[in-house]
Amino acid sequence: MDDKPESQPAPEPSSDPTRREMFTIGNVLALPAMLGAAQQAQAAGPLQPGPQIYQSIGVEPVINCRGTFTIIGASVELPEVRAAMDAAARYYVQLDELAGAVGRRLAELTGAEWGMVSSGCAAALKHVTAACVAGGNPEKLLRIPDLSGMEKVEVVTPRWSRTAYDHAIRNIGVRIIHVETAEEMERALSHRTAMIYLMAGGASMSGPLSLENVARIAKPHNIPILVDAAAEVLTIPNVHLQRGATVVAYSGGKAIRGPQCAGLLLGRKDILMSAWQASSPHHGPGRDNKVGREETLGMLAAVEAWVKRDHKAEWTKWLGYLDTISKRLTAIPGISADVREPRGLSNRSPALVVTWDPAKLHITGEEVAEEVARSKPRIALGASPTTIDITAWMMQPGDDRVVADRLHAILAAKRSPKPAPAPPAANLTGRWDVHLEFFSSTSRHTLTLEQSGNRIQGTHQGDYSTRDVWGSIEGNRIKLRSVERVPGDMIVFTFTGTLEGDAISGPVFMGEYLNAKFTAKRHVYPEQWSSIVVPGGPPLAN
């Protein structure tokens, strides 16, 4: 096959998971993985490169039926990528010359004006923001993140584009202004606006703040638009640039299957040259985001391979994996399975949704996902109370049979109905003073609880906000959960403790933010009490 870019039509708007939604789901994924980590640890020894490289140091690998989540390694690099990286590592090269040659080649392959390789998609967002703030002026670049006296100090984004990934943008020191409507967008743009940031997919495809409409609003102001398409497949010609984006950013280690620590930027050359200036090896705010010659050529090799890959054959292969699993599991009475084939670009993979009635099989989807996360062979799955989701595109040959046998053994097992919860050992209603121990600091929180039977609800006052908390008590075992939400981010606190007297203690699971310890004690109010005299008017003296 020749190396001409493969033309791919623009997608229709769809309800497929966006990067933001997948990030939220990803927090759920992190919990069983962390819960199982200690039990998975084996006797560590010297590193032994080869098929057992991870096991040699006490780490059990995971079969990826989840997707391109960074926390489990995202994707497996293509053979062409590994070959290019190995060859690149054997020689020295001047990195500015390399960036120029790769930029031109990426432009030839994709039809974009220019290309750039970064140390990941988040780094790509950071470099473009720095480029739009400093404009290629190194005196401004070296002042970042102190933007005092600078003109371009704001980034405007729709509220639905706020995610955990915009930390990379905020690291430059800009002020984020999020808007809800096209009218608000128009009012927010000014001479202070460095750029507009959009998350690809979802609302960027249609509606008042679609990319086309935002481009129309931005054009009179000459304000660049950065589109974050991290988890998307690469379209050639590029759908986002066609619709009005100035620059589009991809994760190199997701759908494109390049180096895990690489990102891909495509778009306007002047901005990408300024972004390269803001990137390592140059000194400044991007020096901490180093991309080596190996990743640079590995990313180029991935794009070279992308335009030659038989994407239809890959899709057929993935469907075959799911068919193997589906046939095995639907042989169990009460199990049904359906294949979901997304139409959008983000997380574009067929997935098998396996459904059953937990009241009949006496196990939930979440419990299945937990079991396969904690014991060998380890499998990463999506789950809800009544389903498990198996995403195909990151599975390796042979994984389908292993997964089918593992899940069949679990779902076909005979189980007794779950016993009723043990009666509570105490009533936790009231205020509890919580001492939290993080890795290198401590904090004081407050739980205010109301209990009805085994159920608990109330509030959790953290360091900066108060939010709802809910959970249960069975005997002297307590489980509580709260969610701290700020624009673009969330932290799930899952307290699991044992009640002893007037104290509860145990671990706190915080998803991707790992674990902490807590001790909660009933609040002791002062014993001193006196009547309150209400004055009849203003005080006559202090």
Residue 136 neighbours by CB distance under 10 Å: 16
pLDDT at 362: 96
pLDDT at 404: 98
User: How confident is the model over 278-304, as pLDDT tens digits?
Assistant: 999 999 999 999 999 999 999 999 999
Q: Is the pLDDT of residue 31 over 50?
A: no
- Candidates 276, 301, 382; CA nearest to 27 is 382
pLDDT at 541: 79
Mean pLDDT of 51-74: 94
Q: Is the pLDDT of residue 448 over 60?
A: yes
pLDDT at 206: 83
Q: Is the pLDDT of residue 13 over 60?
A: no
At 189, is the secondary structure helix, strand, or coil?
A: coil
Mean model confidence pLDDT for the chain:
91
Q: Is the pLDDT of residue 25 over 70?
A: no
For 207-229, letters b (16+ CB in 10 Å) and e give eebbbebbbebbeeeebbbbbbb
pLDDT at 17: 52
Q: What is the pTM of this model?
A: 0.88
pLDDT at 42: 58
Backbone angles phi, psi at 63, to 5 degrees: -80, 125
pLDDT at 529: 78
pLDDT at 18: 53
Q: How confident is residue 242, by pLDDT bands cut at 50, 70 and 90?
A: very high
Mean pLDDT of 346-374: 96
Q: How confident is residue 44, by pLDDT bands cut at 50, 70 and 90?
A: confident
| CATH for 79-306, options being 1.10.10.10, 3.30.360.10, 3.40.640.10, 3.40.50.970 | 3.40.640.10
pLDDT at 43: 67
Tokens of 51: 């098929």
Q: Is the pLDDT of residue 151 over 50?
A: yes
Question: Tokens 């006797």 label which residue?
Answer: 43
Tokens of 433: 């003073």
pLDDT at 542: 67
Question: How far from 44 is each of 35, 40, 53, 54, CA to CA, in Å?
Answer: 19, 11, 11, 10
Q: Is the pLDDT of residue 20 over 90?
A: no
- Tell me how far apart the alpha carbons of residues 226 and 129 are, in angstroms, rounded to a whole number: 9
Mean pLDDT of 332-340: 97
pLDDT at 94: 98
Question: How far from 192 is each of 128, 195, 199, 221, 459, CA to CA, in Å?
Answer: 16, 9, 21, 11, 40
Mean pLDDT of 92-96: 98
Q: Is the pLDDT of residue 407 over 90?
A: yes
* Domain boundaries defined on the chain: 19-73+310-412, 79-306, 430-522
Residue 359 identity: A
Q: Is the pLDDT of residue 34 over 70?
A: no
Question: How far from 361 is each of 228, 410, 510, CA to CA, in Å?
Answer: 42, 10, 30
Q: Is the pLDDT of residue 22 over 70?
A: no
CATH number 2.40.128.120 given to 430-522: yes
pLDDT at 23: 45
pLDDT at 203: 77
- Helix, strand, coil in percent for the chain, rounding step 5: 35, 25, 45
User: How confident is the model over 459-516, as pLDDT tens digits?
Assistant: 999 999 999 999 999 999 999 999 999 888 999 999 999 999 999 999 999 999 999 9
Q: How confident is residue 239, by pLDDT bands cut at 50, 70 and 90?
A: very high
User: How confident is the model over 110-146, as pLDDT tens digits?
Assistant: 999 999 999 999 999 999 999 999 999 999 999 999 9
Mean pLDDT of 166-175: 96
Instruction: Please list, in sequence order, all residues whose beta carbon lies within 8 angstroms of the beta carbon of residue 50, skipping any fewer than 6 positions away.
Output: none
User: How confident is the model over 352-362, as pLDDT tens digits?
Assistant: 999 999 999 99
| CATH for 19-73+310-412, options being 3.20.20.70, 3.40.50.300, 1.10.10.10, 3.90.1150.180 | 3.90.1150.180
Q: Is the pLDDT of residue 309 over 90?
A: yes
Beta carbons of 108 and 300 less than 8 angstroms apart:
no
User: How confident is the model over 201-236, as pLDDT tens digits?
Assistant: 887 788 899 999 999 999 999 999 999 999 999 999
What are residue 339's DSSP bridge partners? 352
Q: How confident is residue 344, by pLDDT bands cut at 50, 70 and 90?
A: confident
